[in-house]
Structure 1
């Protein structure tokens, strides 16, 4: 194998083969569950909910938190597999929240027009000026101005913590926690310090992508915080166990991560 690698380097590590090597690089990433953002089938999200969690979660009425619910598409996927679930859907953007609440969900879905984070208060949400209410609204202005290269519009929103919400709602255990907040995922988990310390959160699904450049969060930070969990990257029809080398984990591109408690 080493001989083949050395031969490849000698033959193809040339500027002439840049486009070829770049194509191989991107294909390799997709094969490892990165940049598969076209739909919920390729991203692995549908398989996660309908196959993996459906089998792993034994509670017939699980408590599920959908943080960054947007207009409710992920919530709808959850209801397909867990029709009796108690779902709390969080969406801070007023326009998206309005569309979320207009959907005809069952009575066991409770919507919250707040953001979640490390502490309570207010914050500014940034969105695309020409698509106010997009799926990319973030507390980091650079997500809109640098990644999407769009003019920015702002809206002030209220922010709470997972610990306080769980206490207020009388929730003892969260069977499944999904977080998709364009770079704010780690802060939300830090706001669940009591829940995590008391082992009151089961499976955790979160995105790790280029937004984490602006939040200055490495994958290593999730590993340190969630030290009682094992980490997997979603594939279209399975899970890829993640190692501990930066080359495998510190990839700032779209990917879905599942954190599984080590005792499950």
Structure 2
């Protein structure tokens, strides 16, 4: 995977939770011609939909993050999609993944309250790793740091952050995570207070960024670098 990163790519963003259109990744790639994106999406149907191209929006609200991913970006090699979930696991394992019948983007490792998010379509097994496993193999000799990690993982955001080991404090400039654990059974710990407390312990400070919606943090180690980094999350 890393051997095929185009030579013109000079910086990296990570998009955790692509849904069926990878809209946020699409916005980044359209704005930054030298960007390489790593996307994580556990739902195999969503990944197949993205890779097939010609993605049609399933709801007008889904356009808020931008247009669905143009296949030209896949063909260029500037985005790679990893069909696995992330969490705070000790080793790769298979876990149940609850696919929502109404909006596949709200599917999760946690069962959701069907009164609010609609019926569960099916339960599938998906491979789960942690961010540290990914970062252990990352080509740090080529990229000194990660610009930005955007997480939208339906109740798993805090667990994903905890699974990064020391890489957050050492190698990541910006992080955005969604505190929506209250919508999922057993995910109450994924809330704004706990996410903020964890990120503070990782040497980050919470900021109000004009181009993000969910809680966003900058690493105090990279305050000067952060001034020149574009981030966006809708």
TM-based fold match above 0.5: yes
Q: Please name the residue that 1:149 is paired with.
A: 118
Q: Please name the residue that 1:95 is paired with.
A: 45
Q: Please name the residue that 1:139 is paired with.
A: 109
| Cα distance in 2 for residues equivalent to 1:151 and 1:169 | 35
| Cα distance in 1 for residues equivalent to 2:211 and 2:151 | 19
**8 A contact 1:141–1:152 mirrored in 2:** no
Q: String of CA shifts for 1:194-229, please: whole Å, max 9, x gaps.
A: 2024x2111011222343674121322212221111
Tell me the number of residue pairs that the alignment of Structure 1 and Structure 2 aligns: 184
Alignment of structure 1 residues 74-113 onto 2, 5 Å: 74-103=24-53, 104=71, 105=73, 106-113=76-83
Q: Please name the residue that 1:257 is paired with.
A: 215
Q: String of CA shifts for 1:49-101, please: whole Å, max 9, x gaps.
A: xxxxxxxxxxx722111110122111101102222111101111010010122
Question: Offset of 1:170 from its aligned partner?
Answer: 2.5
Residue 75 of structure 1 aligns to a residue whose secondary structure is: helix
**8 A contact 1:123–1:156 mirrored in 2:** yes
Change (3 A) 1:238 1:66: closer
**8 A contact 1:125–1:137 mirrored in 2:** yes
Residue 256 of structure 1 aligns to a residue whose secondary structure is: coil
| Cα distance in 2 for residues equivalent to 1:262 and 1:185 | 21
Alignment of structure 1 residues 223-262 onto 2, 5 Å: 223-227=196-200, 228-233=203-208, 237=210, 256-262=214-220
Q: TM-score, normalised by structure 1?
A: 0.63
| Cα distance in 2 for residues equivalent to 1:84 and 1:238 | 20
Cα RMSD over matched residues?
2.2
Q: Please name the residue that 1:185 is paired with.
A: 157
Q: Please name the residue that 2:148 is paired with.
A: 176
Q: TM-score, normalised by structure 2?
A: 0.71
Residue 88 of structure 2 aligns to a residue whose secondary structure is: coil
Residue 104 of structure 2 aligns to a residue whose secondary structure is: coil
Residue 160 of structure 2 aligns to a residue whose secondary structure is: helix
More helix by share: 1
| Cα distance in 1 for residues equivalent to 2:205 and 2:130 | 24
Q: Which runs of 5+ in 2 are unaligned?
A: 1-8, 54-70, 224-234
